[in-house]
Amino acid sequence: MFGRNGVADNDHSRAIAGWAVVALVFMPFAAGYFLSYLFRTINGVVSVRLAADLGLNAADLGLITAVYFLVLAAAQIPVGVMLDRHGPRRVQSALLLVAAFGAAAFARSTGPLSLLMSRAVIGLGVAAALTAGLKAIVLWFPRERVALVNGYMVMLGALGAVAATVPAEAVLAKTGWRDLFDILAVTTAGTAILIFFLVPERDVDGSSAAAGGGLREILADRRFWKIAPLSGACIGSAWSMQGLWAPAWMTDVEGMTRTEVVTALCATAIVLSLGASLLGMLASWTRGKGIRPETLLAFVAILFILAQLGLVLRLPLPTIGPWLMIAIVGSATVLSFAIISDYFPKEMAGRANGVLNVVHFGWGFLAQYGTGLLVALWGQQDGHYPAVAYQVAFGVNVALQTASLFWFAMPGRGHATTPALDRVDFALDSNATGSIFSPGVPILLEEPLAQGEW
């Protein structure tokens, strides 16, 4: 019998399989990530009403929206440790109840401070939404399928961004933003209960979850510090733009109507969802061809930079075109977390994903709030900010992303640091060759190692 204490079969590794894993493990965590994505992007739709009802400017909106990312960033490492120690079911269900409380508080906010505090509580409550799902995938699915299943997870979660457009606008038109957040509070609490009582337990080696040792190994790994700035600069910025500044640009710079903006946001959200699935399948296929996900991430970063330059330089492109590319980049976590899963063992997956998410969400906060500060410097003209304000703000982000791309492309990306080498168990199969000279000296390979060999 399935339940919160597990299954009748004592062999946990064989207790459930196939579609049972999808229904009882994958889908409940995907529902939690769906809600986190909805909360992440909902302010893009409700911001106009918030500004009108409570007298907020661009800097206020930027801070209130971005505090979500700040709290997420601060919570990632402790959440990662808890995931490795207690498992994703307990952590996710408990935190989603906190998110439900934050949504109910947001619905009752009366000014900037109460909006800020309640959105921070929402951010804390969804802090494990993605990493809990990723941890569950690592625990229940074979390693070679992780990138593909991650893609499906992000794809379904990104449908929350779709729900935050036309469906949310329909609710707003009938009930208002306060009732919308009350509905979200009830739904989030229901999802927490579902995860706690439906998802079967999986044995977690809590003894391996000591925070210090695992974190030291992650933070001492050169490969992590090659990938993290590029992943954070691109993915965090994409989240920032879609969550708040895309509708602002469309309204102030492109002169689109409210209906046109919501329709365009819906299109970008759909592309975000499909992009996650596409990137997951592409990563799985190219891995079989010998192309590592690092290469795909760099390619996506280049396209992202070009799309933003199209906006900044006001090139004669279709209005929605660059924003569709920007939306796809928001789903590139599929690649980043697949890369991280190759770097560290599964018992460290929660912490490794958490540390990377610190970079993602931290950059999202800086990009979202920083953009608001820069835009607000120009002041409004007839209720709109001038195009140059957005061009400068977006241009600063492009410069930082370009720098991180150059850093990523510098030699030395593939080698771990000395601490990692001191602990590595180096195993070669019959098709790979290699040698280790001494601890602290990079591994030299004549051919690439197969996945999972070190």
239 pLDDT higher than 80: yes
What are 11's two structure tokens?
């062999």
What are 449's two structure tokens?
């190692």
* Residue scoring higher pLDDT (132 or 445): 132
35 pLDDT higher than 80: yes
Q: What radius of gyration, in Å, describes the C-alpha atoms of the chain?
A: 22
Residues 6+ apart with CB under 8 A from 59: 372, 373, 376
| pLDDT of the residue at 273 | 85
274 pLDDT higher than 70: yes
The alpha helices in 26-128, defined as continuous H runs, are: 27-41, 43-54, 58-86, 88-107, 112-125
What are 257's two structure tokens?
């109507």
60 pLDDT higher than 50: yes
The mean pLDDT of 140-157, rounded to a whole number, is 79
The mean pLDDT of 22-49, rounded to a whole number, is 90
Highest mean pLDDT among 50-54, 95-99, 242-246, 295-299: 95-99
Give residue 149's pLDDT band: very low, low, confident or very high (50, 70, 90). confident
What are 233's two structure tokens?
């600069």
Residue 57, classified by CB atoms within 10 Å of its CB into exposed (0-12), middle (13-18) or buried (19+), is middle
Does the pTM of the predicted model rise above 0.75?
A: no
Domains detected in the chain: 22-423 (1.20.1250.20), 424-454 (no CATH)
Enumerate the β-bridge partners of residue 384: 381
What are 19's two structure tokens?
């579609």
| pLDDT of the residue at 448 | 42
| pLDDT of the residue at 422 | 36
Give residue 91's pLDDT band: very low, low, confident or very high (50, 70, 90). very high
Percent of the chain with pLDDT over 70: 83
Give residue 213's pLDDT band: very low, low, confident or very high (50, 70, 90). low
Q: How far is CA 58 from CA 47, 62, 178, 297, 329, in A?
A: 10, 6, 21, 32, 24
CA distance 406 to 399: 11
CA distance 163 to 151: 19
